[in-house]
Amino acid sequence: MKVLLVDDELELVSTLAERLTLRGIDAQWATSAEEALTRLQKESFDIAVLDVKMPRVDGLHLKKQMQDKCATIKFLFVTGHGSRNDFECGASQVGADCYLVKPLNIDELIAKMKDVLKR
């Protein structure tokens, strides 16, 4: 599994990538939508884990941009803000159906990524 983690919190996203790598998952990371799109132009990913709330371009809008570049990539969202209802209202507009709330449990994240990839 090859995953692209996108979150504006540098410490969180780099640590998460390291923890996934230790579990045998090829994990790359980006701290902005622009950086994520650049990475996606250079290499392919099976799944992207996107933070919902980021400056300039949020995760829900980034999903649309990423799909334009790679139609086969799957998505999982993470959020540390708002309620489940807030997320579901926005997510339903872009077809997102899977998310986790921060702080993330690494085992739960891996299980959700595998579940999303099976769909």
Between these two residues, 102 and 24, which has the higher pLDDT value? 24
Amino acid at 52: V
Q: Give the mean model confidence (pLDDT) for residues 65-72.
A: 94
Q: Give the mean model confidence (pLDDT) for residues 43-60.
A: 93
Q: Indicate the average pLDDT of the chain.
A: 88
pTM above 0.85, yes or no: yes
* pLDDT above 50 for 94: no
* pLDDT above 80 for 117: yes
Structural domains in the chain?
A: 2-118 (3.40.50.2300)
* pLDDT above 90 for 26: yes
pLDDT attached to residue 76? 93
CA–CA distance, 119 with 13 (Å, rounded to integer): 25
